[in-house]
Amino acid sequence: MSIASQPGNAEAPKGLLARAWDSDVGYSFRTSPVAIAAAVVTIVIILATTFAGFITPQNPFDAATLNLMDGFTPPGEAGAGSGMKFSLGADSQGRDMYSAILYGSRVSLLIGTASVIFSLLLGVTLGLVAGYIGGQIEALIMRIADIQLSFPAILVALLVFGIARGLIHPSLHEQMTFIVMTVAIGLSNWAQYARTVRASTLVEKRKEYVDAARVIGLRAFPVMIKHVLPNVAGPVLVIATINLALAVLEEATLSFLGVGMPPTQPSLGTLIRVGQQFLFSGEWWILLFPSAALVIIALSINLFGDWLRDALNPRLR
């Protein structure tokens, strides 16, 4: 006879999703139209960019599928060369803007996510070490974080990009750009995580469970990872969500300045940079649609992050 069928135990434990739905945060989500809208838009964008290959009429960066005669087709009209319908128009080389935007958003989101993970790992590790070990190491880490925070992220990223350019052989520049961008944006944003984690680690390490873990003979590293980290992770997630929007915008800015993704593998920023050349000649769709896509992505992630911050903030409950 199994335990589950015993009387008195009839109520099955709810699944994780159901419990999340019933929690305070779940309630706050259900009652906030802005949060729901932002979450839906974000999820739709992520799905659309992930499966871009299946829902776009062409692969915009495969030169064989482009027809130069389609160049500058206005939105909603059929191209003069291929007869294909371009819902958002075509650029100077007959590239479908709708396809280009989905592929570009994918590059933007990938770099944004990768750089957030990079700065998260770096910042949380340094913050844990600084808070838990203290002493000279803490002073050094926090001083570096102070200096980094006093410089705008975009400046740090530009600098890292320039230095990486100088260190990497020119023939590798194109294929390395993705990694260089990730590291550049990641290195410009880690300090905030380090500060937050250090502050909460200082509080946590005086608690009894940490003493207990130490008493049973665990070394510093396992205590930090297994015991302290789960208790300091909450605020970090909120920062990470808001930083994702910032990272996407930072990437777009760098690419717009011409120190980011090359036109052969464009992000939204690169598309906007290219589109700006047609601002005066009347082909507004080459510029407007990528810009709108960037704003929608940044805004929906931002609104979602704002909601998450308020929902997890006990003082506002």
Binding site for other proteins (CB under 8 A): 143, 147, 150-152, 154-155, 158-159, 161-163, 165-167, 245, 249, 252-253, 256-259, 272, 276, 279-280, 287, 291, 294-295, 298-299, 302
Residue 155: exposure state from Cβ atoms within 10 A (0-12, 13-18, ≥19): exposed
Closest contact distance (angstroms) between CB of 61 and other proteins is 22
Q: Which residues contact 160 (CB under 8 A, 6 or more apart)?
A: 180, 183, 184, 187, 188
Min separation Cβ 159 and other proteins, Å: 7
Q: Which is nearer to other proteins, 8 or 33 (CB)?
A: 33
Counting every residue written for the chain, the total comes to 317
Burial class (CB in 10 A: 0-12, 13-18, 19+), 75: middle
What letter does residue 69 receive in the DSSP assignment?
G
Nearer to other proteins, 162 or 222 (CB): 162
Nearer to other proteins, 154 or 199 (CB): 154
CB of 174 to other proteins, least distance (A): 14
Question: Of 244, 231, 175, 163, which Cα lies nearest the Cα of 201?
Answer: 231
| Minimum distance, C-beta of residue 223 to other proteins, in the bound complex (Å) | 32
CB nearer to other proteins: pick between 51 and 151: 151
Q: Considering the complex, state which of residue 18 and residue 155 has its C-beta at the smaller distance from other proteins.
A: 155
- C-beta of 58: minimal distance to other proteins in Å? 27
* Rounded Cα distance, 280 and 272, in Å: 14
Residues 6+ apart with CB under 8 A from 258: 273
